[in-house]
Structure formats: C-alpha cells, structure tokens
C-alpha cells in the first residue's frame, strides 16, 4: 500500500508542486513547476506501482493501473463543511459517525 498527495513549495522563489509518494518504509518527494498529471509523469514512480494507492480522488491518480483507495480524511472535511452549511441535511452527520 502507498499513499500519494501533493503540496506546494517555493523553490528559488517560484511556486512548485511537490508530489509525495509514501509507503510504511519509504517516502519520495519530487518538486516540479507543474501539478497533477504533468508532475506525476515526470515523477515516474506511479507508472511502475503495483498495489493499493490511497489518494484524494484526483483524476490524475485514477489513470494508473493499480487498486485505488480513497482518503477518508478528505471525505470527512467535505462532510463537515456540508453539515455546517446545511444543518437541514442530517445524513451528513450520520455519514461522519459512520466514517469515524
């Protein structure tokens, strides 16, 4: 199993994207001036990955030929936002309870 995500970083004053791929033993970072598919292609590790890849539903990750698991932390953030904005939607708190 591996987890993949990206974050932004400044490299010599310019915004770059930092794809991160981690397992329970290793972590790889790859700064790139573009994000998502372009950065992942340049990163090169996901095209070779076999196993379960946990990620945030990003379309750039979905094209890789591996098993996919989706990040529940992201689901919880979205559900909490819906529950706060729309208290008339009780299903959101039920789903939050289920995920937790």
pLDDT in tens, 57-77: 888 999 999 999 998 888 999
Residue 49 burial (CB count, 10 A): 15
User: Residue 6: what pLDDT?
Assistant: 92
The alpha-carbon radius of gyration of the chain (Å, integer) is 16
> Does the reported pTM lie above 0.85?
no
User: Residue 57: what pLDDT?
Assistant: 87
76-to-10, 53, 58, 79 alpha-carbon distances in Å: 29, 19, 16, 5
User: Residue 81: what pLDDT?
Assistant: 95
Question: CB of 33 within 8 A of CB of 47?
Answer: no
Domain boundaries, the chain: 2-70
pLDDT digits (tens, 9 = 90+) for 27-64: 999 999 999 899 999 999 999 899 999 999 888 999 99
Question: CB of 60 within 8 A of CB of 37?
Answer: yes
Give the HSE-up count for residue 66: Cα atoms under 13 Å, Cβ half-sphere.
22
């Amino acid at each position: 199993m591996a987890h993949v995500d990206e974050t932004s970083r400044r490299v010599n004053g310019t915004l770059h994207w930092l794809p991160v791929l981690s397992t329970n033993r290793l972590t790889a970072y790859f700064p790139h001036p573009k994000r998502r598919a372009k950065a992942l292609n340049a990163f090169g590790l996901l095209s070779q990955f076999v196993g379960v890849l946990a990620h945030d539903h990003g379309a750039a990750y979905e094209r890789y030929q591996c098993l996919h698991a989706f990040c529940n932390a992201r689901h919880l953030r979205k559900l909490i936002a819906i529950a706060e904005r729309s208290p008339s939607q009780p299903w959101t708190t039920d789903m939050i309870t289920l995920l937790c």
